Structure 1
Amino acid sequence: MEHFESWRDLLNPEFYIKMGGFWLILFIVFAETGLFVGFFLPGDSLLFVSGIYAVEIVNESIGSTGNDLLDTTILASCIAVAAIIGNQVGYWFGRKAGPSLYKREDSFFFKKKYLKQAHDFFEQHGALAVIMARFLPVVRTFTPIVAGIVNMDRRKFLFDNVVGAVLWSFSLIFAGHYLDKLFIEQFDIDLKAHLELIILVIVLITTLPLVMKFFFNKHKDPDFDPQNPE
């Protein structure tokens, strides 16, 4: 069992995998969107590293099927379900209490600017934002809330939610699992020995769109009225 040693552990996906395994992974995926305080939790890197450990995770939780592909599919499917439920909870919260969030004071767990970023992203990309947001840290936490605030059609949101969750979970889980195998077989490189570098690369790739958006828009003055988000 892994033990908490420093705040750096909270950003290390391997820490969560070794500390809580299958069930903690599912909770984190749910919390990233179901509990809007989860924006600081590792998402993309957690899924990629979980893919590397897929067989071990499934074996220790529900028991391995003995089939590598099936074990990886089971893990990706369960993560997709957790992601779908998380987004639906975020959407429901947005419909019920979302507008009041714009009046809430900033805290460690809540930043109003993140909610606004998600709103701008949603307005720019429309319904596809629900799918695209899955691959963007922070934005994916607040996009379902914004979708609820602007009263996006429930069926349309559910459809985009399912598509986005499946694409996100399967692409990252399978990428981690089979790239690890490829590097071992072709280059004799074990990705488990280079997780810090891998996590850094994933963070850079997933945050680059947000950084670019910030620099391109830093001189603009968006006319967004939080009292009337529509």
Structure 2
Amino acid sequence: MDWLKTILDIFLHLDVYLGQLIRDFGPWIYAILFITIFLETGLVVTPFLPGDSLLFAAGTFAALGEMNVWGLFILLTSAAILGDTVNYWIGHRIGLRLFYSQNPFLRRLLKEEYLHKTQEFYAKYGGFAVVLGRFVPIVRTFVPFVAGLGTMDYGKFLYYNVMGAIAWVGLFLFLGYFFGNIPIIKENFHYAVMGIILVSVLPMAWEWWKARRAAARAEG
């Protein structure tokens, strides 16, 4: 389970890792960030990659002059739009085969409960689920995939995809840009990341609690 510890360490000390990447790769950091955001949203098998916290950290370094904030905004918004588009078409073309594959890796990663939860998300919010799903870790990876599996046509999906990408990248990137270098946040960056993750999963936790409560009442 060493890989889990490594991923957790990267999440909690993303400012340190990102700073090192900027020093090591210079302008190529833009390509690295683009690929990371694209993979996090574009491949249903990579929901574990940092999204919210990476955008926040990138914003803090942009505020220091290490990167151009508007260049990041355009680039990473494009990566998010492209990633969700690829994810949509994966779901549309081979989604069911992936979900019901007998491959052990896919069976561990693509659990049916994720599919059902995302379908419930769509049933409740309709097309706007594509926008809202951007702000919920793991769910945002499955939302475009399930859209491709279902009946949402690509034109409608693209509209909500663009809206969601602009809102998601803009929110976390500029939060980092304006607030990431405040001393108390900079000195406790891992707590800021934990706070971002907590806020991101609260809606999912709330829905889970309501579902459990409704089920308990039905049984009672």
Distance (whole Å) between structure 2 residues aligned to residue 34 and residue 136 of structure 1: 15
Instruction: Give identity over the alignment, percent.
Output: 32
Which amino acid is the alignment partner of residue 153 of structure 2?
D
2:75 equivalent among 78, 97, 103: 78
Q: Residue 107 of structure 1: CA displacement?
A: 4.0
Distance (whole Å) between structure 1 residues aligned to residue 30 and residue 64 of structure 2: 10
Q: Residue 22 of structure 1: CA displacement?
A: 2.6
* Superimposed CA distance per residue, residues 38-97 of structure 1 (whole angstroms, 9 cap, x where no aligned partner): 2111211111111111256864xxxxxxxxxxx211111111000000000010011101
Q: Residue 6 of structure 1: CA displacement?
A: 3.2
CA contact (8 A) 2:56 2:180 kept: no
Q: Which fold has the larger relative contact order, with Cα–Cα distance below 8 Å and residues 6 or more apart in sequence?
A: 2
* Superimposed CA distance per residue, residues 111-143 of structure 1 (whole angstroms, 9 cap, x where no aligned partner): 332222212111210000011111111110000
Q: Which runs of 5+ in 1 are unaligned?
A: 60-70, 184-188, 222-230
The SS at the match of 2:198 is helix
Which amino acid is the alignment partner of residue 135 of structure 2?
F
Distance (whole Å) between structure 2 residues aligned to residue 200 and residue 145 of structure 1: 27
Q: Say whether 1:214 aligns with 2:208.
A: yes
**2:94 corresponding residue in structure 1:** 97
The SS at the match of 1:42 is coil
Q: Kindly tell me the number of residue pairs found equivalent between the two proteins.
A: 200
**1:18 corresponding residue in structure 2:** 19
1:201 equivalent among 189, 195, 198: 195
Q: Which runs of 5+ in 2 are unaligned?
A: 22-28
Distance (whole Å) between structure 1 residues aligned to residue 152 and residue 65 of structure 2: 36
CA contact (8 A) 1:54 1:72 kept: yes
* Superimposed CA distance per residue, residues 164-218 of structure 1 (whole angstroms, 9 cap, x where no aligned partner): 101111111111111135x3xxxxx253221101001111100111111112113
Q: Say whether 1:122 aligns with 2:119.
A: no
Over 6 Å off, 4+ runs: none
**1:48 corresponding residue in structure 2:** 56
Distance (whole Å) between structure 1 residues aligned to residue 189 and residue 60 of structure 2: 10
Distance (whole Å) between structure 1 residues aligned to residue 76 and residue 107 of structure 2: 29
Q: Say whether 1:33 aligns with 2:30.
A: no
Distance (whole Å) between structure 2 residues aligned to residue 179 and residue 56 of structure 1: 12
**2:185 corresponding residue in structure 1:** 191
Q: Residue 23 of structure 1: CA displacement?
A: 2.2
Within-5 A mapping of 1:134-173: 134-173=134-173
The SS at the match of 2:188 is helix
